[in-house]
Amino acid sequence: MPADRTPSARAPHDAEPRLLRAFVAVAEELHFTRAAARLYVAQQALSRDIRRLERELGAELFARTTRQVALTVDGERLLPYAYGVLAAYDELGAAFADGARPLLVDVNTDGMISGRVLALARERVPECELMARYERGLTGAAAGILAGRLDVSFGRFAGLAPAVRARLSAQPVRYEPMAVILPEDHPLAGRAEVELDALAGETVYAGAGNPATREWTDLAERLFAGRGIRVAPPAPVAIGAEEFRRVMGRSRTPVLAVVDFPATPGTVLRPLVDPVPLSPVSLVWRTGLVHPGLDALRAAAAGLAGAEGWLKMPSGAWLPEGDLTHMCPNE
């Protein structure tokens, strides 16, 4: 019958990497003092680790005399396995090292300022893979970040639920002027700018009913309150430029947007004025995230904001007080 094992005994495959590293160092140096110096540990601690490994494996690994150290048959048998196990641990560590994995960056929609920040960040860290994703709404993206499906997004941080904000970090990027998308034959389409009061009596689409864009719908409701402008009722989200053009042509409903929203055939985009409503854009990520790609994104956002005055409040601007607090936390 096999020998009984005490409850605390461990199978050979449970050997800790630290013990295997100690074994390999002694096996290569064949000298405990040199091996201890190589590992930056005390010789007494190294000897203790070797004895523990021998005890756990139930085998003597070194033949020791006062003059030399030599591998036993069991030590020679263990050495290639130890090399293999330690190589696998090193590969595992490298796979999860900072910057080793792609950073998943939600840019919402092609052609927005988030894309410019991403492009500049890629130039800063060409050795990193920063992969774009398209969630089309910070509320949806934030859920993805907290679930581990995304790393970074852009949008209105103050529009997220307090419990969600508490687990995220944010960096202000831009006060982005808002605009309206109109059918090209709309009565207001001929204007270079559209005064907000000129939309009185209109129904404007702002993502109502879309769970991924609640922060945007909330901003629209705050902007339109008391101005006689209605938020359009929920409707299926149009994905893609051609589908957006088709739906716009059919519904004839103006769409609330920002000044950098990509052009769509059959429509015109006009800045809103009197007042100039602002969409507060922040870079948002999970608190505690460490990745060189995130550092590059933050530096790129700060650089562009400084060079182009993105964080300068235009005169006659409109912004909810809560958003101003999040965009200027130290003021």
Q: What pLDDT, on the 0 to 100 scale, is given for residue 132? A: 94
Is residue 245 pLDDT above 70, yes or no? Answer: no
What mean pLDDT is predicted for residues 137-160? 95
Q: Is residue 67 classed exposed, middle or buried when 0-12, 13-18 and 19+ CB atoms within 10 A define those classes? A: exposed
Residue count of the chain, please give it.
331
Q: What pLDDT, on the 0 to 100 scale, is given for residue 12? A: 52
Q: Does the structural domain 12-95 have CATH classification 1.10.10.10? A: yes
CATH of domain 103-327: 3.40.190.290
In the chain, where the domains are located: 12-95, 103-327
Q: What is the mean pLDDT of the chain?
A: 88
3-class SS string, 279-311: EEEEEEEECCCCCHHHHHHHHHHHHHHHHHCCC
Report angle CA 165, 167, 169 to the nearest 5 degrees: 70
Token pair recorded at residue 115: 């894309």
What mean pLDDT is predicted for residues 293-314? 95
Q: Which of 27, 21, 71, 14 is nearest to 45 (CA)?
A: 21
The 10s digit of each residue's pLDDT in 99-132 is 568 999 999 888 889 999 999 999 999 999 999 9
pLDDT band for position 256 (cuts 50, 70, 90): very high
Q: Which of 4, 215, 257, 261 is nearest to 112 (CA)?
A: 261
Q: Is 284 left (phi over 0), alpha (psi -120 to 50) or beta?
A: beta
Q: What pLDDT, on the 0 to 100 scale, is given for residue 9? A: 45
Verdict on whether the full-model pTM lies above 0.85: no
Q: What pLDDT, on the 0 to 100 scale, is given for residue 81? A: 92
Token pair recorded at residue 317: 């601007």
Q: What pLDDT, on the 0 to 100 scale, is given for residue 6? A: 43
Q: Which residue has the tokens 């590059």?
A: 296
Q: Which of 309, 8, 3 is nearest to 173 (CA)?
A: 309
Pairing state of beta strands 276-286 and 152-155?
Answer: antiparallel
Cα separation of 41 and 60, whole Å?
Answer: 22
Cα separation of 66 and 43, whole Å?
Answer: 15
